[in-house]
Structure 1
């Protein structure tokens, strides 16, 4: 059996089972700071990194461009924390997710196109593939857990053929 996925646009409603969309949007908690010269959009993601004495960390992940169609061989999850990604270059990227559970289910895989002004925060236990850089080396700010006790990365290797196609719009 072979599964071919094409990206769908990222929205807060569609992504809610997997995590938070980090973006400036209607309804976001925001207020003026710096004497009215800056608008602060506040608390945009439910960061969850303190389990078993973990601590928050900010890193930069440098990703190589993917070649499409791309065969997906592995997904990962973090059972003790959330993990957030924000592209440093304001360009779209792709993410592959599946709901939390013992292993990702093929019928529940979702491929999203993250917009140029969006980021994502995967909730604890959500299956995901690393983000897919398009056309060039890309840097991503990653906010996640470091230190603490316990293993925080599980991997699942697919035996089925899962392929991702790139949307013509990106």
Structure 2
């Protein structure tokens, strides 16, 4: 059987648009606040939630690194709310997403964030688990809280292998 290989590409707003929003302060002009002592990079992403009793929650995640190449067998999606991951340092991390193919995940795509970039998955986007590599990494997570089933998981019969394109 041939290897199911995906090569991760750089994360750009255009390439990631079908799956959500790239969170990158370089995408907006800052505005001053606190008497000029701070700069605010406003409206970088919207975390939408569904359901009458749904609400936005903020969490903190301490994530252990994964080895590369990465074997991806499990993906998930959240039908009731978007989900944003904001790294608390400048280290890159791996983002795996799949287009929807009649209610199932299609062929994965993989992206490597630039230092400081975060992501916001759109409602219902199939995605891999939070995947730092090289070292542990901490994240703020913004997603939906409230009643209802907001997690669907899918396991590929044959895992996909994700590699990072080496420069040059």
Structure 1 length-normalised TM: 0.89
User: Contact conserved, 1:75 with 1:128, CA < 8 A, in 2?
Assistant: yes
Shift in Å, 1:29: 5.5
Q: Distance in 2 between matches of 1:42 and 1:76?
A: 29
Partner of 2:125: 126
Structure 1 runs not aligned, ≥5 long: none
Q: Distance in 2 between matches of 1:63 and 1:167?
A: 23
Q: Distance in 2 between matches of 1:89 and 1:24?
A: 14
Shift in Å, 1:100: 3.9
Partner of 2:156: 158
Please state whether the residue corresponding to 2:105 is helix, strand or coil: coil
Shift in Å, 1:49: 2.4
User: Contact conserved, 1:77 with 1:128, CA < 8 A, in 2?
Assistant: yes
Partner of 1:7: 8
Deviates more, 1:80-89 or 1:35-44: 35-44
Partner of 1:110: 109
Partner of 2:84: 84
Q: Distance in 1 between matches of 2:139 and 2:8?
A: 20
Partner of 2:46: 46
Please state whether the residue corresponding to 2:4 is helix, strand or coil: strand
Structure 2 runs not aligned, ≥5 long: none
Structure 2 length-normalised TM: 0.90
Pair 1:19 & 2:32 matched: no
Q: Distance in 2 between matches of 1:12 and 1:51?
A: 28
Q: Distance in 1 between matches of 2:141 and 2:6?
A: 25
Q: Distance in 1 between matches of 2:132 and 2:53?
A: 32
Shift in Å, 1:62: 1.6
Large movers: runs of 4+ above 6 Å? none
Q: Distance in 1 between matches of 2:69 and 2:12?
A: 24
Q: Distance in 2 between matches of 1:110 and 1:157?
A: 16
Shift in Å, 1:168: 3.3
